Amino acid sequence: MKNLLEHMGIDPGRLHFSWISSAESTKFVEVAKNVTEEVMALQSKEKKYMKTKPKVA
């Protein structure tokens, strides 16, 4: 799935996968921080994921 999304042009780094047990609170914090940082770094690039108003011919 990650492969196909990236194949379609989603920036690598926007999609993260992780196994976190309910007992691993510190790992969760760490992963959440990393994900936010990476995605924030990418956000300024463009707004292509937003829906636009329909184009009327």
CA distances from 36 to 15, 32, 57 (A): 11, 6, 39
Query: Contact between 40 and another protein (CB under 8 A)?
Result: no
The residue type of 49 is Y
Query: Contact between 2 and another protein (CB under 8 A)?
Result: yes
Report the distance separating Cα 10 and Cα 2, nearest Å: 9
Query: Contact between 54 and another protein (CB under 8 A)?
Result: yes
Nearer of residues 22 and 54 to another protein, judged by Cβ: 54
Query: Contact between 7 and another protein (CB under 8 A)?
Result: yes
Shortest distance, position 21 Cβ to another protein, whole Å:
13
